[in-house]
């Protein structure tokens, strides 16, 4: 029987709480219910189809009447002994009825189990061809898998050959990354150009990082790198400054450096590096400078240039 059939049988018999039960539990529950129904039917009808309860009740009434008469006689002589005897007689009668009902219940259980096995046999017989078909399909798929195995084995060496090429390409990519970064840094540090750019921009050596060094003493240099500018100023004790009176809208005006003993002027006003570089980047200035003079001595020459006009 299917699960739905089992549940419908149980519902017709008034059994509740079966929605969460699985098939084995439903079968057991139905067997118990049918066993109980079989016992009730046997108790309600005799072998000839007549209600056995009537004969039993008549016999019981006669037995009870006889017992009462006997009990009455005995109670006249010994009332205390009559009560235990009656109770013992009733217990023996109950035990006899229980022993008689046990074989009948066992036969009903056996017949129900036989019926359930007979009904389950066709379903197992129907499932056998399906299992045979599945086994056949697996057997057919086995040669295809066997054929695919050599192709995978052939592909493995090609992948193994490709691995060294990828390994060789990795260092080249690793080398290319710093080169790209350096190129990007040079592009950012390249001097800005405009209609007022001087010719010295084109003839000056571009310095993009602290690692760049002048080609020779006295070489004219140009940079926009903040670290390079700060290193040059610290080497000379120079402080970032602006020319008083050139401020515009609360910003520093003409940018310069206050170098002790070099270009001293009362108009020079020192400012912070943040203010200096904020104006430097906002106006897209270039710093043209020298590290050494031609004779190798330290040079203090510098000039900020605005690409849109000569005076930075």
**Range in 18-27, 90-99, 298-307 the model is least confident about:** 90-99
The model's confidence at residue 173, banded by pLDDT at 50, 70 and 90, is low
Q: Give the pLDDT score at 281.
A: 94
Q: And the tokens for 282? A: 């906002």
52-111 pLDDT, tens digit per residue, is 444 555 555 666 666 676 655 665 444 444 444 446 455 564 545 545 555 556 565 666
Q: Which residue has the tokens 């109770």?
A: 87
216-252 pLDDT, tens digit per residue, is 999 999 999 999 999 999 999 999 999 998 888 778 8
Per-residue exposure over 196-225, b if at least 16 CB sit within 10 Å of its own CB, e if not = ebeeebeebebbbeeebeeeeebbebbbbb
The model's confidence at residue 157, banded by pLDDT at 50, 70 and 90, is low
239 vs 216: CA distance, rounded Å: 26
The model's confidence at residue 161, banded by pLDDT at 50, 70 and 90, is low
Kindly report the pTM of this predicted structure. Answer: 0.41
Q: Give the pLDDT score at 111.
A: 62
Phi, psi of 126 (to 5 degrees): -70, -35
């Amino acid at each position: 029987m299917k699960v739905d059939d089992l549940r419908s049988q149980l519902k017709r018999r008034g059994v509740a709480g079966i929605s969460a039960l699985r098939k084995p539990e439903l079968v057991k529950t139905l067997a118990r219910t049918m066993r109980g129904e079989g016992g009730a039917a046997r108790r309600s009808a005799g072998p000839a189809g007549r209600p056995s309860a009537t004969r039993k009740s008549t016999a019981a009434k006669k037995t009870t009447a006889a017992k009462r008469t006997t009990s009455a006689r005995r109670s006249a002589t010994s009332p205390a002994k009559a009560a235990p005897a009656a109770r013992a007689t009733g217990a023996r009668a109950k035990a006899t009825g229980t022993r008689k009902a046990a074989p009948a219940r066992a036969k009903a259980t056996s017949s129900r189990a036989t019926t359930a096995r007979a009904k389950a046999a066709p379903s197992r017989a129907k499932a056998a061809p399906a299992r045979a078909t599945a086994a056949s399909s697996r057997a057919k798929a086995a040669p295809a898998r066997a054929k695919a195995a050599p192709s995978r084995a052939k592909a493995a060496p090609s992948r193994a050959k490709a691995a060294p090429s990828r390994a060789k390409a990795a260092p080249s990519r690793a080398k290319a990354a710093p080169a790209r970064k350096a190129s990007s840094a040079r592009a950012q540090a390249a001097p800005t150009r405009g209609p007022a750019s001087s010719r010295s921009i084109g003839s000056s050596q571009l310095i993009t990082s602290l690692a760049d060094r002048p080609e020779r003493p006295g070489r004219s240099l140009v940079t926009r790198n903040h670290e390079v500018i700060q290193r040059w100023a610290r080497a000379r004790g120079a402080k970032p400054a602006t020319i008083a009176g050139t401020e515009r809208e609360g910003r520093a005006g003409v940018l310069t450096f206050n170098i002790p003993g070099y270009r001293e002027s009362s108009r020079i006003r020192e400012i912070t590096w943040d203010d200096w570089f904020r104006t430097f980047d906002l106006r897209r200035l270039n710093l043209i400078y020298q590290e050494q003079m031609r004779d190798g001595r330290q040079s203090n020459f510098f000039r900020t240039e605005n690409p849109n006009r000569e005076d930075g």
